[in-house]
Structure 1
Amino acid sequence: MQHEPSTAPYEEITHEAAPHTELATLPTSRPAGCPFDPPAELATLRAQTPLRRMRFPDGHLGWLATSHAAVRAVLADRRFSSRYELLHLPVPGAPEGGLPPAPIGDLTGIDAPEHTRYRRLLMGKFTVRRMRALTSRVEEITAECLDAMERRGPSVDLVAAFAHPVPALMICELLGVPEADREDFQRTAAGMSDPEATLEQMMESLTSLTERVHALVPAKRAHPTDDLLSDLTTTDLTDEELAGIGSFLLAAGLDTTANMLGLGTFALLRNPPQAAALRAEPELADQAVEELLRYLTITHTGFRAALEDVELEGQLIRAGETVTLSVQAANRDPERFPDPDALDLRRSTTGHMAFGHGIHQCLGQQLARVEMRVAFPALFTRFPTLRLACPPEEVPLRTDQSIYGVHRLPVTWDR
């Protein structure tokens, strides 16, 4: 794909800007015609200085980290907190008075010792061995979705037909949602990210799903089955904690994997040689998944608040200051990944931070990997003539969301 320069207005930074110029805003506009690339200004900032002062919409003066080394250092340093109530957000529309504390069971917004307690209980449930044991079930679900696509085709919205159902059904499997309830559960989950739904309707879907998880907990205590929630009923977690963790895993595992499958398919369709390589060499699946994770970095931005004064990259970050972490810029850092703007399924991606880093690294990353390792090769093998059913510039992108991706991906193929 040709990389075109961004035409978005950006007053604070140019290639000649002073390295310590204060940013007036977080760069968010992606280059025209390149939906898979981060905002071009991030690369300029990274080349000038990896840690830059930035003004937040609420007036807070914090920082923006853009290099692989700087982002990794903050994520690994326990002097930085991920507690929501300590953070300032670099985007307009944050709640007045700041964010509320994380709800019970939300591991991303808490620190030790509470985070340590939850994570220790969950780590044994998300081992590589256990997730790989789910591979056969992922293969069955993937095949069922592809069969349904073939019956419905030859033109479908890949998000609705494939990218969303695969992780949704696997989350049902993981949490132990009864078979009779899974279709309704999946339909409600789809409502959380429906681009045509109002905010009120999306919140209603989220509330409905949370209530369903809450209802599962006493049922699992009374009649445990072979699933994650049943396993956790043997711990000292309360019903409220179990329901909170279940809801957190649902939200964290569904939206991310669904958007990786949707946006990843879009990226491969726009890079035919890479798609052909995956189709011809299914053994490339492991490397392909890691490269797509790095290249796309759909969880593009993170945040940490300094609990004490910390010196980093020659700068003094004061206690209480928020550091915005551009994970997408870090994963495109040429100091870490040669020719980082190229999608290369054969490259070594060791050290990418698409799943984060440090104590908050994604717990469900092994399940996500299993789903993608199965789904991508299966999709491109079943439909070797798969292609976009609309001009690429008409694919609706999730440009205003914390998880990047596509709202819809119209595709077609030859019968």
Structure 2
Amino acid sequence: MSPEIMTVAMFASLIVAITFGHPLAYTLAAVATLFGLIDNGWNVPALFDMFANNTYGLMENYVLVAIPLFILMAQLLDRSKVSDELFESLYVVLGGLKGGLGLAVVVVCTVFAATTGIVGASVVAMGLLATPALMKKNYQMEMSAGVICAAGTLGILIPPSIMMVVYGGLTGMKETSVGNLFAAAILPGLLLSGLYFAYILIRCNINPKLGPPISKEEASKYSTAKKIMMTLKSLIPPMALILAVMGTILAGVATPTEAAALGAFGALILAVVSRKFSWQVMKESAYATMSTTAMVMMLFVGGKFFSTVFLSMGGGDVVADVLIGSGLNRYVVLIIMMAIVFVMGMFIDWAAILLVTVPIFMPIAMELEFNPLWFSMLMCVNLQTSFLTPPFGYALFYFKGVAPEGYTIGHVYRGILPFVFLQVLGLAILFFFPSIVTYLPELFFGPS
């Protein structure tokens, strides 16, 4: 069977299997096994050897040790209620503005993103904490859902990010090391946060009914000095943790794995200081870390099987020949690759998309002489949309699962549409201004 037919059949089989709702990790591995056997003439021992070598290689990757450590940090922070105190102080500080509570959600999620790196934790925490306050102040339901879902997805982009750790482990390139990716993601993450902030502020000033301010009486209960003290008190602990983790990486003092261990220890200290620590909290955090890490690593193994078989049977060459050999301008080829990732994000988990597309697209990007770090960041920002785009955006279901009675999936879908547009706008800005991505890595680590 020709590589062209095998390529089409393999992707078609994956899409069909996913639509039946089978677990993604096992679906990737099963499709890889079937087509690996077809490609090698049903030589089971040879395929088993290939899979065993790939799995062992994954488990030897030191960078991936950062994944359970960052997840543990996120779990401990979630239970220490750092975000609760920050939202309560920003509720007072920003609540007097039109759309002020929505702005507070964006700020809290931005800070929370830089301490957790997990979308589910951010969306669920803010859904439980902020939605009742937004409803009480008569915020439009679509606006409330859109703000919480969109701002919550910043956790997958703003470092320390699990996605960056996975991406860096996949490529194994110096230019796209985890440290470089972390530095490159800071400004794009803040850009998206700024776009959300500006949209809420402008939209709610045009139509105050979407996000009315809190009453003047409520706002006047606190003096300016007290507002400043409340904000500093709630902001200093997470900012200290961010500085400890990101500062050591960017200063070259620690590797991402070592910084992840420091972050987990720092989160434990914050939980103790905030008097939220107990052995039950530790037990729950450790169990959640174990189950989440197992899920991520199973996806990693299944995705690695899929990409290895796909490349070994010539699928990567087929895709490269179609895109590069088409004679299209290299930027048109880039837009096509981004469009493929965007559409896949509507149906498939971000980890699976990374594991399937990076081994195929990265060689094409290198062949077209794109900056690998810039290309990688376009991929990662694009993948952030996978949490918001219907029908299978995970952030939408996280929010719906904790939203108060009265919220329908229709409210959620309508609410996220402007924010998906803002994410695409942010991607376009990075496309036209690559220095937003490359400035900080060059500043901290020198030109690649």
TM-score calculated relative to the size of structure 1:
0.28
- In terms of Rg, which structure is larger? 2
Report which of the two has the higher share of helix.
2
